[in-house]
Amino acid sequence: MKPAPFEYHAPRTVEAALDLLESEGPDARVIAGGQSLVPMLALRLARPEALIDLNRIPELSGIRKEGSTIHIGAMTRQAHALASSLVFEQLPLLHYGLEHVGHPPTRARGTIGGSLSHADPAAETPAVMLAYQARMVLRSKQGERVIPAEEFTFGTFETALEEGEILTEIRVDARPEEGTSLVELSRRRGDFAMASAAARMSLAEDGTCASAHLIIGAVAPVPLRFDAVTDALKGRTITESLVREAVELMDLDQFEFDNVDISLAYRRKIGPVLAERALLQAFNRAEGLRK
């Protein structure tokens, strides 16, 4: 099929893009990498009256460090972030997450902000940003607002973006001293995840767990945080048996997805397995940083 007719705009500044969003109204759509939107247009699942292309706005791309904060432009390509030494050294969990995203051609076009704004429950980037407690910068003609990652994604393909707003930047505190891991199960490498687990862990001077975070993705409309699991690890010496016991505290009733590709029962079986693997790998990496 072919897309329904629409007007195409390619502004060169954020202000110009916001002007277009305001003038075109609610029937306008913003396009970033287009890896999700273009197929929807072709199938006529999306029928915007106007398409506003952000690819010619240089201020929306790039990765930089200011103080202890990493600033990631929403139009930064996934491939660029994956190849970034700054990301690998300061935000390794994002690097590990991007390794699982699609294939080289899709990462070459796909953007960090586009993935977050699309809010696919199986996507790795929303889970990573929730694990990192990132802040999303949203701009409109009325100004700018910054909201935490946990308040950005409402559900499947639903975000806090309001009419006339654009996600312009993601801000994340640098975490070079932590061990991190993202593991997932998919039918083939590059396919959508059936379930995923993202973990962060830092160790105290005596080797005990100082802090930990665990996020499970692709099992519910939004990535799920399991603080009960990580609270059981804090202040204790990490062992396989301790992690296994902590993972048993996961509230599996929060898992919701049940379909012909993978059942809810199977997701509830593999979720704790992935969580255990991610936490142990994060611990091993954190321990390696101390040597």
pLDDT tens digits for 25-37? 889 999 999 888 8
Distance, in Å, from the CA atom of 129 to the CA atom of 162, rounded to the nearest integer, reads 20
- Judge whether 92 and 116 are in contact, CB under 8 Å: no
- Judge whether 268 and 247 are in contact, CB under 8 Å: no
pLDDT surpassing 80 at residue 147: yes
pLDDT tens digit sequence for 260-276: 889 999 999 999 999 99
The reply to whether CATH 1.10.3720.10 applies to domain 58-173 is: no
The model carries a pTM of: 0.94
pLDDT tens digit sequence for 70-86: 999 999 999 999 999 99
**pLDDT of amino acid 40:** 84
pLDDT tens digit sequence for 205-246: 999 999 999 999 999 999 999 999 999 999 999 999 999 999
Band of pLDDT at residue 1, cut at 50, 70 and 90: low
pLDDT tens digit sequence for 243-258: 999 999 999 999 999 9
Distance, in Å, from the CA atom of 176 to the CA atom of 84, rounded to the nearest integer, reads 14
Sketch the domain layout of the chain as residue ranges.
7-53, 58-173, 192-289
Segment 118-140 mean pLDDT: 96
**pLDDT of amino acid 261:** 80
Segment 124-144 mean pLDDT: 97
pLDDT surpassing 80 at residue 190: no
**pLDDT of amino acid 218:** 96
- Judge whether 119 and 126 are in contact, CB under 8 Å: yes
Mean pLDDT of the chain: 94
pLDDT surpassing 80 at residue 290: no
Residues 6+ apart with CB under 8 A from 253: none
Q: What order do you get walking across the sheet with 63-66 strand by strand? A: 63-66, 69-73, 166-173, 135-140, 143-148
Superfamily of domain 192-289: CO dehydrogenase flavoprotein, C-terminal domain (3.30.390.50)
Amino acid sitting at position 67: G
Percent of the chain with pLDDT over 70: 99
pLDDT surpassing 80 at residue 11: yes
Q: Please spell the DSSP secondary structure of 213-258, one letter per residue.
A: EEEEESSSSS-EE-HHHHHTTTTS---HHHHHHHHTT--GGG----
The reply to whether CATH 3.30.43.10 applies to domain 7-53 is: yes
Segment 52-60 mean pLDDT: 96
Segment 134-150 mean pLDDT: 97
